[in-house]
Amino acid sequence: MKEKIQKKLSDSKAARWTALFIVSFTMMCGYFLTDVMSPLENLLTTKGKVVYFTDDTSMPADTLVAKVRLFSAANMLSEPDLTVEKLGAGAKMQYQEQVNGQQVTVEKTISSVARGEGWSSTEYGFFSGAYGLINVFLLMLFFGGVILDKMGIRFTGTMSSGLMLVGALIKWYALSTDFGDAQLFGMNMQVALASVGFAIFGMGAEITGITVSKVIVKWFAGKELALAMGLQVAMARIGTALALAVSLPVARMMGNVSYPVLFGAIVLCTGFVSYLVYCMMDRKEDASAEAVRMESGQEKEEGFKMSDLKQIFCSRGFWLINLLCLMFYAGVFPFLKFATKLMIYKYDVPESFAGLIPALLPFGTILLTPVFGSLYDRIGRGATLMIIGSFMLTAVHVLFALPVMNYWWFAVVVMIVLGIAFSLVPSAMWPSVPKIIPMKQLGSAYAIIFYIQNIGLTTVPWLIGWVIEHFATLRNEAGVITGYDYTAPMVIFAIFGVCAIVIAMLLRAEDAKKHYGLEEANMKK
Ligand SMILES: NCCCC[C@H](NC(=O)[C@@H](N)CCCCN)C(=O)O
């Protein structure tokens, strides 16, 4: 009689791809919430209500009311019964405007009215960077990695996806409440509370991120690892793309910036439940792995020890990956937070379409990240892919910084190139980590990389928000904002790109010396 050979659950193709899909879904929900506020920058930084017209233009509500009143008086029409509160969808407005030096009568129909929150650019920058606040300053991401290696995938992932949900609810509460002039921590109460919520969410999102990375290595090591990581990132990008595309229309339709966040919180509930489903699969995988080990008489793998951290810290290749991750991601995610407003003011894109151009970036990566991942699996050249991606990132920011070519189609082309760069580097960088660091220290290794990366994700939006307020905001003599000059912030982003190129080259040199195998294929033939 043939003896039944024990197999691990992860040896089944269907099982491992199902596991990947479930955890990637949780992550996708997290990414949706991370970027849901980015297209709302213009609305958040406008004081009072904003009126949107059917021709895709917009105007502060009080300016509109004043213009309509002036028009009625000048044309001896009866005083309109109009206040900011009475403006509503479907109403027709008439007022006069200077067009090419001539006074013309404009008639517009209101499509929606939404409440602006009156934040400053610095406050918006602070809020955007708050994502990494607890991770960086309370070292929670670092401890998250240790918790992951000590307590395991099921405990850590459940805890962290629960934290995402709690943070999202706090953020929603802050944005849906009018706190008047109340202050917290010496700042506007709404900004402070929304930032606290975002910081708790960010802690959960990042710990979930390292947990999911470990899940993928657990199921795919020696198999289609880079493809699986690429697909996970691709699904995450769907979350980002949807956030960028639907957030402003939802806020406009509902009249308030809090609704997209509420929607995100509901989506996150499903992400939390899907992680619980994964936990059941994880239990089965562990049981089958244990059965295989017993049958083959293998020694039980030694657990994680704090002293293992020394091995991680002593690896030069590991530090180069850290720095590359810091610089490359500092040039992408923080940029996305400001990209919608860049499209409005530099490329003259109507506000209702402006979020769609940055949304092209994640949409492009949805396809390309798995393609490049699979390329890396089959033919290698990981370090080279990272160098090419870093070059592209730099070129993109230099092009955005140029004061010429301010056409929307140019912004679209440049954004597509950024999408290619944003597929190349992540698809090669993340699967390279297990080539440098062994499995049992992988949770801590990813946590340290995410930790260093979070320093950039936190401080770069602060820096850019401050630079926009002090060096990029154009005002007229009365101090009213008339536009923005994005040269200075874009030059800063380009500098991150140059640093990424240098580091990626050093990494390839280090690989040649230490034979990590970054230029080799991942799949064992
Ligand atoms: N296997 C690792 C995949 C990481 C994907 C990577 N995510 C991050 O680096 C996160 N720490 C930051 C996410 C910020 C959310 N917008 C990615 O390329 O998304």
* Span 75-86, pLDDT tens digits: 877 767 788 888
127 and 275 part of one domain: yes
**ipTM here:** 0.96
Q: Is the CB–ligand 1 distance for residue 206 below 6 Å? A: yes
**E strand or H helix that includes residue 116:** strand 102-117
373 and 429 part of one domain: yes
Q: Is the CB–ligand 1 distance for residue 236 below 6 Å? A: yes
Per residue in 270-327, pLDDT (tens digit) is: 999 999 999 999 999 999 988 888 887 777 666 666 777 788 888 999 999 999 999 9
Lowest average pLDDT, out of 220-229, 269-278, 289-298, 499-508, goes to 289-298
Q: Does some domain include residue 210?
A: yes
Residue closest by Cα to atom 19 of ligand 1: 233
Q: What is the CA radius of gyration of the chain?
A: 25
User: From residue 388, how far is each of 301, 328, 395, 491 by CA, in Å?
Assistant: 38, 12, 11, 20
CA 58 – ligand 1 centroid, Å: 34
Q: Does some domain include residue 148?
A: yes
Mean pLDDT of the chain: 90
**Across 353-371, average pLDDT:** 85
pLDDT at 313 (0 to 100): 87
* Contact present, 395 and 417 (Cβ < 8 Å): yes
CA 209 – ligand 1 centroid, Å: 7
Q: Does some domain include residue 104?
A: yes
* Contact present, 201 and 134 (Cβ < 8 Å): no
* Contact present, 401 and 487 (Cβ < 8 Å): yes
Q: Which of 58, 90, 115 is the last residue of a domain?
A: 115
Q: Which of 91, 115, 139 is the last residue of a domain?
A: 115
39 and 53 part of one domain: no
Q: In what order do the strands lie in the sheet with 92-99?
A: 58-60, 47-53, 102-117, 92-99
* Best residue among 131, 237, 430, 451 to mutate for probing ligand 1, ranked by most atoms within 8 Å of CB: 430
- Alpha carbon dihedral 347, 350, 353, 358, in 10-degree steps, equals 30
60 and 175 part of one domain: no
Which of residues 422 and 477 earns the better pLDDT score?
422
349 and 468 part of one domain: yes
**Across 463-468, average pLDDT:** 94
CA 52 – ligand 1 centroid, Å: 34
* Contact present, 244 and 362 (Cβ < 8 Å): yes
Asked if residue 91 has pLDDT above 70, the reply is: yes
**Across 482-490, average pLDDT:** 91
pLDDT at 226 (0 to 100): 81
**Structural domain tally of the chain?**
2
CA 421 – ligand 1 centroid, Å: 14
244 and 392 part of one domain: yes
Give me the domain span that covers residue 58: 48-115
Q: Is the CB–ligand 1 distance for residue 419 below 6 Å? A: no
Q: Which of 89, 115, 141 is the last residue of a domain?
A: 115
Q: Is the CB–ligand 1 distance for residue 233 below 6 Å? A: yes
397 and 333 part of one domain: yes
Q: Is the CB–ligand 1 distance for residue 426 below 6 Å? A: yes
Q: Does some domain include residue 301?
A: no
CB atoms within 10 A of CB 205: 27
Q: Is the CB–ligand 1 distance for residue 461 below 6 Å? A: no
Residue 254 CA to residue 248 CA, distance in Å, equals 10
Q: Is the CB–ligand 1 distance for residue 430 below 6 Å? A: yes
Q: What is the DSSP string of 421-467?
A: HHHHHHHHHHHHHHHHS-GGGHHHHHHHHHHHHHHHHHHHHHHHHHH
Q: Both ends of the chain: CA-CA distance in Å? A: 31
pTM recorded for the entire structure: 0.84
pLDDT at 235 (0 to 100): 93
169 and 259 part of one domain: yes
